[in-house]
């Protein structure tokens, strides 16, 4: 499925200005001073839908549309076997990805987990905006997952990866990502896959049989292979040239 062409940059500002040239100029001045267009507009567009966004959460990269497509494909495979898949987004942030999955499959239980309470507040606002029931859990990795809750069939997410040299394009540079909440764009300590690594170990140590689907962006295969080493089986999907999404199980 092709990804919808969503407005970005100045197109967002024009939508936010709603035909008011004075307001548009003021918004453009803020972007010229270094603010991210989506934060200035107060919303982003993803998959043809509008989501609220502000500095409480990471600005969803448009490339992660493909991550939702992989998660949906895997979930539909389980559904074809007569199972209703339980979906968990790790690092739910503003809720953009989890809500996109829920809107595509309203009958699937979809939850999101995040360490950041402020981001979870924004995810809840977006869930209400789109009229979906999204289970939200504040937790450091999986430690806060309720013991009585079902083990997720699918855990997917776009945890922070890489560093200043690992970018989708030249327009979204290090400064763009550093506007976002601390450690939401790049892993702390310069570990290019540190958060992915810990999540994978956490799933394996718990003995969960979840399918893990993680975006590794533009990172090279050898780096991803080291990160995926604890998994019993894994493969990479390349929904776009140069972009890697891991699909694995313990």
- Which residues of the chain fall short of a pLDDT of 70? 1-3
Tokens 């604890």 sit at which residue?
A: 230
The CB-based long-range contact list for 48-54 (8 Å cut-off, 24+ gap) reads: 48/4, 48/6, 49/100, 49/103, 49/130, 51/94, 51/95, 51/96, 51/99, 51/126, 51/129, 52/94, 52/122, 52/125, 52/126, 52/129, 53/94, 53/122, 54/122
> Do the domain assignments include residue 75?
yes
> Do the domain assignments include residue 183?
yes
Q: Do strands 43-46 and 49-52 pair parallel, antiparallel, or not at all (unpaired)?
A: antiparallel
User: Cβ distance 140 to 117 under 8 Å?
Assistant: no
> Do the domain assignments include residue 49?
no
pLDDT at 2: 64
**Residue 45, beta-bridge partner list:** 50
pLDDT at 1: 56
> Do the domain assignments include residue 118?
yes
> Do the domain assignments include residue 29?
no
pLDDT at 35: 94
Output the 3-class SS for 200-239.
HHHHHHHCCCCEEEEEEECCCHHHHHHHHCCCCEEEEECC
CATH for 142: 3.40.50.150
What is the CB neighbour count within 10 angstroms for residue 172? 15
> Do the domain assignments include residue 150?
yes
pLDDT at 16: 97
* Structural domain for 231, as ranges: 62-249
> Do the domain assignments include residue 238?
yes
Using CA atoms in the order 221, 223, 228, 233, what is the torsion angle rounded to 10 degrees? 20
Total count of domains within the chain: 1
> Do the domain assignments include residue 56?
no
User: Cβ distance 62 to 9 under 8 Å?
Assistant: no
Q: Do strands 87-90 and 49-52 pair parallel, antiparallel, or not at all (unpaired)?
A: unpaired
User: Cβ distance 172 to 105 under 8 Å?
Assistant: no
Query: With a threshold of 0.85, does the pTM exceed it?
Result: yes
């Amino acid at each position: 499925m092709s990804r919808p062409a969503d407005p970005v940059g100045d197109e967002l500002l024009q939508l936010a200005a709603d035909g008011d040239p004075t307001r548009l100029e003021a918004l453009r001045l803020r972007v010229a001073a270094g603010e991210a267009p989506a934060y200035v507009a107060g919303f982003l567009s993803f998959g043809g839908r509008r989501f609220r966004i502000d500095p409480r959460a990471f600005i969803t990269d448009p490339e992660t549309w493909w991550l939702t497509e992989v998660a949906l494909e895997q979930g539909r495979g389980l559904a074809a076997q007569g199972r209703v898949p339980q979906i968990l987004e790790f690092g739910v942030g503003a809720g953009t990805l989890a809500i996109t999955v829920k809107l595509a499959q309203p009958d699937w239980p979809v939850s999101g987990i995040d360490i950041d309470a402020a981001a979870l507040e924004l995810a809840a606002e977006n869930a209400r905006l789109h009229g979906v029931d999204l289970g939200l859990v504040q937790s450091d990795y999986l430690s806060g997952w309720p013991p009585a809750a079902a083990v997720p069939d699918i855990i997917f997410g776009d945890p922070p990866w890489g560093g200043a040299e690992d970018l989708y394009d030249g327009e979204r540079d290090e400064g763009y990502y550093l506007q976002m909440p601390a450690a939401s764009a790049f892993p702390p300590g310069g570990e290019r896959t540190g958060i992915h690594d810990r999540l994978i170990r956490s799933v394996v140590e718990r003995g969960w049989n979840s399918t893990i689907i993680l975006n590794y962006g533009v990172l090279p295969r050898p780096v991803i292979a080291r990160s995926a080493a604890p998994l019993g089986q894994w493969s990479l999907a390349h929904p776009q040239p140069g972009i890697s999404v891991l699909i694995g199980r313990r």
